[in-house]
């Protein structure tokens, strides 16, 4: 049985954002090309999944406009029964389904691999970023897949209830990708629960860390998004340092006994 502690003891003072960012820059020094390549692969996979669904949606919209489905309800109804439109819809559903499968079966476990490969760089100095990302993604594949899927599902359900609880849970579950890799003996629900316990008293700390990257985020927008190839690994490496810090805090309070 895994032990979880609902901490009521004191929380250690957090290191500063500057510390996490300098630590990340130190780990990435000399490894930026590898980090950018890893991030490019991640973005390309994500774009392939999202782009397929977007393309399918645009095809349906274009066909509806072409058939005159932008007028009255009667015209819309006739378009929806048009054989050409039905064929486009059938193909669109197939593309959307393929996009969904790619997001679930590729992107969810690869997200765990991406984040933890940067953590290995920070903690162990392991510079095999892309290789580690693939290895982490495929080792315990179904465990990581289910853990990430369950986390996303819970976030969606919370967001459907109210926006604020959804945002709170987003921060509560933020350490789940690290825990799924570092503690494979935990079930998916236990990994999510441990993230909740670790993040108690640290949600604002994570928000403050994210806010410290806001200026870089704006600069990346000015580069037509190209800057995100550098910002994403920078942020996730700093996040790895943040995780190490709150894990130590949680352990000191008996959470890892």
pLDDT along the chain (257 residues), means of 10: 49 85 98 98 89 62 56 53 62 71 94 98 98 98 98 95 90 98 97 97 96 97 96 98 96 75
pLDDT tens for residues 86-135? 666 666 666 677 788 899 999 999 999 999 999 999 999 999 999 999 99
- Beta carbons within 10 angstroms of residue 49's beta carbon: 19
How many angstroms separate the CA atoms of 44 and 41, rounded? 5
Q: Which residues, in sequence order, are CB contacts of 141 under 8 Å at separation 6+? A: 109
- CA Rg value for the chain: 22
pLDDT at 163: 86
pLDDT at 71: 52
- Beta carbons within 10 angstroms of residue 13's beta carbon: 8
Cα–Cα–Cα angle for 190, 119, 257, rounded to 5 degrees: 40
């Amino acid at each position: 049985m895994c032990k979880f502690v609902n901490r009521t003891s004191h929380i250690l003072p957090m290191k500063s954002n500057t510390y996490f960012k300098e630590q990340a820059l130190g780990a990435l020094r000399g490894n930026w090309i590898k980090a950018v390549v890893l991030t490019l692969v991640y973005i390309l996979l994500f774009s392939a999944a999202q782009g397929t669904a977007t393309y399918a949606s645009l095809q349906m919209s274009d066909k509806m406009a072409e058939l005159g489905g932008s007028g009255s309800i009667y015209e819309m109804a006739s378009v929806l029964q048009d054989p050409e439109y039905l064929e486009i819809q059938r193909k669109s559903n197939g593309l959307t389904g393929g996009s969904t499968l790619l997001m679930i079966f590729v992107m969810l476990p690869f997200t765990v691999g991406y984040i933890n490969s940067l953590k290995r760089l920070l903690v162990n100095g392991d510079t095999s970023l892309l290789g580690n990302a693939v290895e982490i993604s495929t080792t315990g594949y179904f465990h990581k897949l289910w853990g990430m899927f369950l986390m996303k599902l819970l976030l969606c359900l919370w967001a459907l209830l109210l926006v604020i609880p959804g945002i709170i849970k987003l921060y509560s579950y933020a350490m789940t990708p690290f825990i799924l890799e570092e503690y494979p003996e935990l079930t998916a629900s236990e990994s999510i629960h441990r993230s909740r316990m670790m993040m108690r008293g640290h949600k604002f700390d994570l928000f403050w860390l994210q806010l410290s990257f806001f200026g870089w985020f704006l600069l990346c927008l000015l580069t037509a998004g190209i800057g995100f190839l550098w910002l994403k690994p920078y942020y996730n490496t700093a996040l790895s340092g943040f995780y190490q810090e709150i894990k130590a805090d949680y352990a000191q309070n008996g959470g890892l006994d």
